[in-house]
Amino acid sequence: MHGPGHSHALDARRADSRRRMWWALGINVCLLLAEAIGGVITGSLAVLADAGHLVSDAGSIVLALIAARLAALPAAGRRTFGYQRSEVLAALVNGVLLVVVSIAIAVAAIGRFSDPPEIDGWGVLALGLFGLAGNLAATVVLARGRREDINLEGVLRHSAADALGSVGVVVAGAFVLLGGSPVVDPIVGLLIAGLILASSWRLIKEPVDVLMEAAPAGVDVDGVGGEICGEEGVRSVHDLHVWTVTSGFGAIAAHVVVAQGADRDLVRRRLELTLRERFGIEHTTLQMEEEASQELLHVENARPV
């Protein structure tokens, strides 16, 4: 059962997420232009690394917006669930992009250790503070959205990693201004690469879980089976499958064996209510089967002795 209330709530969540992502995209484009130009002028790898991450940020937001639009399309033809998993695929692509960006920054940083160039400390500090303010604004806008939306979560993690990267840029600029070695710049670049890599973990793990038909996070499949069997009139359950269609959209299919004479429709409705209230699963496909008579299992040897 997939009620209209569930569909409406999902549509409302997606509309809110899209609005927040548009705001974040505008902020990121402004920051990207400022840091790309400023990184070249100051000669700072830390600034250019942050700008490189902003490129992936802007791309990830565009990708997430396209996926959110596709996910809102109605089911038709062979795609009986529509394009809802486009959000999951977008999150996975964003996670892989974060890994690629972190590796590229790390390689560039390692290459600078042997001959770190001089950098403009004041320029780096100013760009870092500007980037930090912008990234914090984008992160706050995104964090106030519905966090169970993995598509929005992917964009949020990009933005949060950027905010941490901007802190690194500020530290690098301040260190150089205080007379420290310019080698701090590639060190900060490596730290930013590590932060980006760490933020990619959930974006790869969760989409893979969804694509592998795993149960929704936090749902105990054994507990679901026990809850079904604990319903009055239920004898057993088999062929139990619990999976995630997309973020916030869990589904279940099962064969439920009920006692002879039990009202199967009533038992099914009670189970649907229980699954929705206890586990948050609204899309249910329950095949109700009546318990076999013991007489059907009794076989006698009809051959004469």
Q: Reduce the DSSP state of residue 12 to 3 states and report it.
A: helix
pLDDT at res. 7: 56
* pLDDT(72) > 70: yes
* pLDDT(230) > 50: yes
CB atoms within 10 A of CB 239: 9
Q: Round to whole Å and give the CA distance between 71 and 84.
A: 4
Contact between 40 and 130 under an 8 Å Cβ cutoff? The reply is: no
Q: Round to whole Å and give the CA distance between 124 and 129.
A: 9
pLDDT at res. 252: 93
Contact between 247 and 150 under an 8 Å Cβ cutoff? The reply is: yes
Query: Would you identify the CATH topology of the domain 4-211?
Result: Alpha-lytic protease prodomain-like (1.20.1510)
Q: Pick from 116-120, 185-189, 234-238, 293-297 the range whose average pLDDT is largest.
A: 234-238
% the chain with pLDDT above 90: 15
Higher-scoring residue by pLDDT: 230, 127 = 230
* pLDDT(298) > 70: no
* pLDDT(258) > 80: yes
pLDDT at res. 57: 74
Taking all residues of the chain, what is their mean pLDDT, rounded to a whole number? 79
* pLDDT(285) > 50: yes
Residue-wise DSSP of 124-154? HHHHHHHHHHHHHHHHHHHHTS-TT-HHHHH
pTM over 0.85: no
* Structure token digits, residue 57: 């940020």
The mean pLDDT value for 57-66 works out to: 78
List, in sequence order, the alpha helices (H) in 144-200: 150-177, 184-199
- Indicate the CATH number for domain 221-297: 3.30.70.1350
* Structure token digits, residue 236: 């057993």
The mean pLDDT value for 194-212 works out to: 81
Contacts of 235 (CB under 8 A, 6+ apart): 229, 257, 258, 259, 291
Q: Round to whole Å and give the CA distance between 256 and 149.
A: 31
pLDDT at res. 77: 75
The mean pLDDT value for 195-204 works out to: 78
For the stretch 21-56, pLDDT in tens is: 888 888 888 888 888 888 788 777 767 777 776 776
Q: Round to whole Å and give the CA distance between 253 and 157.
A: 33
* Structure token digits, residue 43: 């000669």
Pairing of strands 234-246, 249-258: antiparallel
pLDDT at res. 148: 62
* CA 47 to chain CA centroid, nearest Å: 27
Where does the pLDDT of residue 171 fall: very low under 50, low under 70, confident under 90, or very high at 90 and above? confident
Contact between 246 and 279 under an 8 Å Cβ cutoff? The reply is: no
Q: Which of 145, 107, 134, 109 minimizes the C-alpha distance to 21?
A: 145
* pLDDT(131) > 90: no
The domain segmentation of the chain, as residue ranges, is 4-211, 221-297
pLDDT at res. 96: 86
pLDDT at res. 147: 60
